[in-house]
Amino acid sequence: MQNIRIVLDQTSHGGNIGAVARAMKNMDLYHLYLVNPKDYPSEDATARSSGADDILRNAQIFSSLKDAVADCQYVIGASARARELSLPTITPREFANDTLALMNINIACVFGNERVGLENRQLALCNKQLIIPTQEKFSSLNLAMAVQIVCYELYTAHQFDQKHAITATDESATSGEKESLVEFIEELATEVKFSNPGQPKKLSVRIRQIVSKSNFTSSEVSLMRGFLKNFKK
């Protein structure tokens, strides 16, 4: 599972980062990416990691989620809330089974801030929305619990179902390559006055969502950029 990373976006409490590190190490996952953590590094994080301080030491820190997943071809965003701009949804078990067929690409599972979770602009960087099934009347999970569930499903799938694993053969486009295409489309939309000046972000989110949930390969992204460049000329 060396190609799978857990990404925490704007985590508020250092102790939660430590608890996540512990949950990851329990399930043989070691790549922790932190985006603008509010309280890190911290003694609380080390204490709550309960011996998983190696994961904390090796954690990579980024200033934006876009940068944290730029080299990933498959990005999942964990959020229980229904969205206006919906993504395909997936359970932790379905996600774990997906990863068996994607052994040679970079995969990220993203978790948002403890209080507000992931916003639409963050989910728009993802291919799918991960939802952990719970009973409706009491569906709230804390951050470390949610990560533990996902990590458990990943560990179980990879430990007991490796005989079914296959290697992806196509060169799936990375999140960074898709983001570059999105930014080019945004510029073009502004130039041809297709973008609404009053609500430019709404179009941006929709474009990003369409591109992010596609199955573009790197060569297909290059083809689209080449076509649009000539169109722009």
Which are the contacts of 232, defined by CB distance < 8 A and separation ≥ 6? 188, 191
* Identity of the amino acid at 178: K
Can you give the residue ranges of every domain in the chain? 4-164, 175-232
Query: Which of these ranges, 60-74, 100-114, 164-178, has the smallest mean pLDDT?
Result: 164-178
pLDDT of residue 150: 98
Calculate what percentage of the chain has a pLDDT beyond 70. Answer: 91
Q: Which tens digit of pLDDT belongs to each residue from 112-137?
A: 999 989 998 899 899 999 999 999 88
User: DSSP class of residue 84?
Assistant: S
pLDDT of residue 85: 61
Winning range, highest mean pLDDT, from 92-101, 160-169, 170-179: 92-101
What count of other Cβ atoms lies within 10 Å of the Cβ of residue 102?
Answer: 18
Pick the CATH number of 4-164 from 2.60.40.10, 3.55.40.20, 3.40.1280.10, 3.30.565.10: 3.40.1280.10
Q: 228 vs 62, which has greater pLDDT?
A: 62
* Identity of the amino acid at 226: G
Q: What is the spatial distance between Cα 34 and Cα 76, in angstroms, rounded to a whole number?
A: 15
What count of other Cβ atoms lies within 10 Å of the Cβ of residue 108?
Answer: 26
Whether 74 has a pLDDT exceeding 70, the answer reads: yes
Do 45 and 17 touch, CB atoms closer than 8 A? yes
Q: What is the spatial distance between Cα 96 and Cα 80, in angstroms, rounded to a whole number?
A: 18
